[in-house]
Structure 1
Amino acid sequence: MTASFDPAASGWETVDHSDFMELVGPVWQRTTDAGVLYGLATSAKHRNRNGVVHGGLLTTLLDMALGRTSSAGQGGRKQATISLDVQFLAPVQIGDFLVAECRVVQATRTIMFMHGSLRVGERTCAVAQGVWKILGT
């Protein structure tokens, strides 16, 4: 999807999130049968020195999406990232609309094990595995 893609016109809603995420966003969300998807329309502010979207943005979006999915999997309890391992599979072009899809792999009383992927259209650009601590436990 390119810069002409309008998330709002396609059923996406903006996510209420932290001031930090405002710097890179807006971030969008859409609920599907498979769960909540998170999206971000890339722009020139996301460009790295090679002219494509910076891997730090991909990591940031995955961290946010995995954290929200982890929290939802525990009834909205606050979470904190313990570890996040990201593999970059394909470059993302400026103007692409990124979609993050995440799932809980395993949950314990205090720890959430997560998996997520980022795609542009049908092309997977990055995958991640992470561990989240359930706070207050």
Structure 2
Amino acid sequence: MDELIPDPPPGFVRSKGRGPFSTHNGPYFHRMGEDGLVEQAFYVLPRHANGIGIVHGGMLSAFSDGLLAAAVGRGTDKVGVTIHLSIDFLHMARQGDWIIGEARMSRATKDVAFADGRLHARGVDIVRASGVFKLMSRHG
């Protein structure tokens, strides 16, 4: 059964071609940001929330991890495998909110890349995240 999801925020389109884990947890949406900015979003469904309707920290962590990895991929054209993920929960979000994430790669070496991002809902930052990613070649 397809869950009812309202139209995404302006400029966002439904993402395709994601791995099974992200596809199961989504649906996710994206839009092209400028100057290396990666923007992704999801609409909080009942399955993303805990028993009192607040978005589960695990969902926010998984979404942040994918967002940061996408920023690394955009910045390096390589796959980034998470070595370290740091999450700060700043505020809560609830069922029925659109969560919008923004991330940028801050730097990369030959083997490792670093990215920083934030998630916000209703104009309030809810998560600050940073990560370190092992760079892998893309294999078809």
2:98 counterpart of 1:97: yes
Distance (whole Å) between structure 2 residues aligned to residue 4 and residue 120 of structure 1: 16
TM-score (norm 2): 0.87
Name stretches of at least 5 consecutive residues in structure 1 with no aligned partner.
Answer: none
Q: Is the CA contact 2:5–2:43 (under 8 Å) kept in the aligned structure 1?
A: no
Aligned length: 132
Q: After TM superposition, which residue ranges in structure 1, 4 or more long, deviate above 3 angstroms?
A: none
Separation in structure 2 between the aligned mates of residue 44 and residue 4 of structure 1, nearest angstrom: 11
Q: Secondary structure at the match of 1:67?
A: helix
* C-alpha distance in structure 2 between counterparts of 1:50 and 1:121, whole Å: 19
Secondary structure of the corresponding residue to residue 56 of structure 1: helix
Does structure 1 conserve the Cα–Cα contact (< 8 Å) formed by 2:38 and 2:67? no
Tell me which amino acid in the other structure corresponds to 1:132: F
Q: Determine the C-alpha separation between the residues in 2 that align with 1:133 and 1:85.
A: 15
> CA offset at residue 120 of structure 1?
0.7
Corresponding position: 1:36 with 2:57: no
Question: What is the DSSP-based 3-state SS (H/G/I as helix, E as strand, rest coil) of the residue aligned with 2:41?
Answer: strand
Name structure 2 gaps, 5 residues minimum: none
Contact 1:103–1:116, Cα closer than 8 Å, also in 2: yes
State the identity %. 28
The Cα of 1:47 is off from its aligned counterpart by 1.3
Aligned-pair distance for 1:32? 2.8
| RMSD, aligned CA | 1.7
Report the Cα distance in structure 2 between the residues aligned to 1:68 and 1:29, rounded to whole angstroms: 11
Matches within 5 A, 1:50-65: 50-65=52-67
* Structure 2 residue matching 1:81: 3-state secondary structure: strand
Contact 1:85 1:130 in 2 (8 A): yes
Distance 1:108 1:121 in 2: 36
Aligned-residue offset at 1:54: 0.2
Instruction: Spell out, residue by residue over 1:97-126, the C-alpha distance to the aligned partner (whole angstroms, 9 max, x if none).
Output: 001100112211111011110001321000
Aligned to 1:67: 69
Secondary structure in structure 2 of the residue aligned to 1:10: coil
Cα deviation, 1:39-95, whole Å, max 9, x if unaligned, reads: 0000111111343110001001100010011011102x1220001010100011111
Give TM-score, length-normalised by structure 1: 0.88
Match of 2:125 in 1: 124
